Amino acid sequence: MAEPRPSAWRFLARDNDDPVKIVGMAFAVALGCAVVVSSAAIVLEPRQAAHLEAARAARMAAMLETLPGMAEVLAETGADSLSTYLVDLASGRIVPGADAENYDMAAVAADPETMVEIPPALDVAGLRQRAPFAPVHILERNGDVELVVLPVTGTGYQSRISALLALQSDLTTVAALTITGQGETAGLGARIEDPAWQALWPGHEVFNDNGEIVIAVVRGQASGPYEVDGISGATRTGNGVTNMLRYWLGEHGFGPFLQRLHTEGL
């Protein structure tokens, strides 16, 4: 060769079956792809986070709108929204001074370092593990609890269902149930997201007089204050919602917190 060529050209000129070329190309392609993927992730991250935040706020606002008399209560108390507390699920106590707004239950529950394992006997919602704390939204009026909004999650027919359950001041009457996330069968189970189905919930009661959790989504015609009409063709999604509420209102979920709120107040 008359004149020396840069090493990159020499590398590319190697035979394609040469081991150096094989390893070199594999490395170069991997590096190139890694740079493209990570720069895309970093550049687009703020926009994605804004979407997620907006979606969460929109669901919360939509739920508040559906609550009967909510606007009046808010106007009366002067508060423009609910205050959010971080609750220690095991003791049922509010963690003072914690940053509840930004507590990501899903992330904490997925992290083996921070998650709490759910005993199989109690795991009716099929979750296996959960976060040790939960952000609870509470509306107060003159020091009394007017409304409690609990984040819940459970297993449906084919996806994880998450929802916000709002209870009235008696801590048993449902003020609203809003499904905030699901991936059930489109047209069947996914109809739990329909406002029409969610509108069935207000006024139902989750506990009976003995304090047992009796709320259930039933097949066919629902009757009484403890039964909600299921969606035909989506029995297992309905069961998933029932189990989700049974777990989260139970002794391993918000049970201790609701108990304490009932006897001691805030």
Strand runs labelled E in 32-128: 83-88, 93-95, 116-117
Site string for other proteins, 166-185 (x = CB under 8 A): -----------------x-x
Under 8 Å between Cβ of 163 and 179 = yes
- Does residue 131 sit in helix, strand or coil? coil
Is 57 within 8 Å of 82 (Cβ atoms)? no
Among 62, 188, 218, 222, binds other proteins (CB under 8 A): 188
Q: Which residue number, 159 or 169, has a Cβ lying nearer to other proteins?
A: 159
Identify which of residues 121 and 196 has a Cβ nearer to other proteins in the complex: 196
CB of 157 to other proteins, least distance (A): 13
Which window, 46-54, 102-110, 171-179, 207-215, contacts other proteins (CB under 8 A)?
46-54
CA–CA dist 230, 214 (Å, integer): 15
Q: Does 29 bind other proteins (CB under 8 A)?
A: yes
Which helix or strand (DSSP H or E) is residue 149 part of?
A: strand 144-155
Tokens of 136: 């609870």
CA dist 207 and 100 (Å) reads 27
The one among 5, 10, 36, 101 contacting other proteins by CB under 8 A: 36
What is the contact surface with other proteins in residues (CB under 8 A)?
A: 12, 16-17, 21-22, 25-26, 29-30, 32-34, 36-37, 40-41, 44, 47-48, 51, 55, 183, 185-188, 196, 233
